[in-house]
Amino acid sequence: MIAIVDYGMGNLRSVEKGFERFGFDVRVTDNPDDIKSTDKLVLPGVGAFNDAMDGLRQRKLIGPIVDFISSGRPFLGICLGLQLLFSKGYEDGEHAGLNIIPGKVVRFNFSGNGTKEKLKIPHMGWNQIVFRKDANPILKNVPHDAYMYFVHSYYVCPEDKDIIATETEYGAYFTSMIWHKNIFATQFHPEKSQQCGLTMLENFGNL
């Protein structure tokens, strides 16, 4: 069973359909008991950091998610589901995240990193990922220069650089995927990234 967390935000159906394509048993749920008992867990999301944390809090899902990840079972975060893993997010103020991954979530600041070109925010559309770690099981059969689909204005800054699985260039290089033990999380949307993204979902389902 693959459980997809429903906390009131994000395109859950597209993620569900991505897994169903390969015949996986998948359920969209906001029931804490489903999260506790599932084999694999997916935390998707599109929207504001603090609104998402409020949604998780109201549904009493924070504890079950943290416990699930601590159990060592496979976890996949997508877009906002990556960002929520971090200690703090700086969207409309400073807000506490799940604090599973030490680090912060910040807005693109092109003048701050010396980029002269005026790039659009949000970063939206197709962009390449660059592998920073080998042997990532959910990137099996995905090309090292694959294009993935992004929609975001904020990106993660992990304190431990060794967990960075891929980076992507947009004004400067930013972390587009992390991998730490049983935690896999992407800034891009595998479910919207055609064959390369669907291959990732299949790989995760087969873990």
Name the residue ranges covered by the structural domains of the chain. 2-205
- Distance in angstroms (rounded) separating the CA atoms of residues 147 and 122: 17
Q: Is domain 2-205 classified as CATH 3.40.50.2300? A: no
Q: pLDDT tens across 100-141, in order? A: 999 999 999 887 666 666 789 999 999 999 999 989 999 999
pTM metric for this prediction:
0.96
- Give the DSSP H or E segment for 185: strand 183-186
pLDDT at 64 over 80: yes
Q: pLDDT tens across 69-79, in order? A: 999 999 999 99
Q: Identify the pLDDT of residue 28.
A: 97
How far out from the chain centre does Cα 69 lie? Answer: 14
pLDDT at 203 over 70: yes
Cα 192–Cα 138–Cα 91 angle in degrees, nearest 5: 55
pLDDT at 32 over 70: yes
Q: Which residues are catalytic?
A: 79, 189, 191
CB-based contact 84:53 (threshold 8 Å): yes
